[in-house]
């Protein structure tokens, strides 16, 4: 059975990852949706080049390339066969910024406290 891919919703009912995705080109959106399909299908067994752990917190990055653009969507696996998409960036540097990691972990902790 496939896993669900769900968007993090903040206190103001905003879905920052969904908003980020919808702000991309049609081709990039199609590639992102394709990788979501792979994540749902192969779930926790999906590895490189699509998924990589970023630290010991349980957060992983979904790695998406479209043309010369590189995207990272940070997520974690939650009970009930759900992947919760927490934060998304268009990657411009080799390293993930500390502020992006902190925001991602804050959102994960917020989600876990609610569900």
Phi first, then psi, for residue 81 (nearest 5°) are: 60, 55
Tell me the CATH number at 19. 3.30.2310.20
Per-residue pLDDT tens over the stretch 38-86:
999 998 899 999 999 988 889 999 999 999 999 999 999 998 899 999 9
Whole-number Å distance between alpha carbons of 74 and 106: 12
Residue 70 lies in domain:
4-114
Total number of domains in the chain: 1
Read off the tokens for 94.
Answer: 């080799």
Per-residue pLDDT tens over the stretch 20-29:
999 999 999 9
Read off the tokens for 54.
Answer: 């970023």
């Amino acid at each position: 059975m496939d896993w669900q891919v769900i968007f993090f919703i903040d206190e103001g009912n905003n879905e920052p990852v969904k908003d980020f995705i919808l702000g991309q080109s049609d081709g990039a959106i199609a590639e992102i949706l394709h990788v979501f399909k792979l994540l749902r299908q192969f779930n926790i067994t999906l590895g490189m080049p699509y998924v990589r752990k970023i630290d010991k917190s349980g957060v992983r990055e979904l790695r998406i390339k479209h043309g010369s653009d590189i995207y990272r969507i940070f997520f974690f696996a939650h009970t009930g066969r759900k992947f919760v998409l927490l934060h998304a960036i268009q990657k411009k540097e080799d390293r993930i910024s500390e502020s992006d990691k902190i925001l991602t972990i804050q959102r994960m902790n917020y989600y876990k406290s609610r569900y």
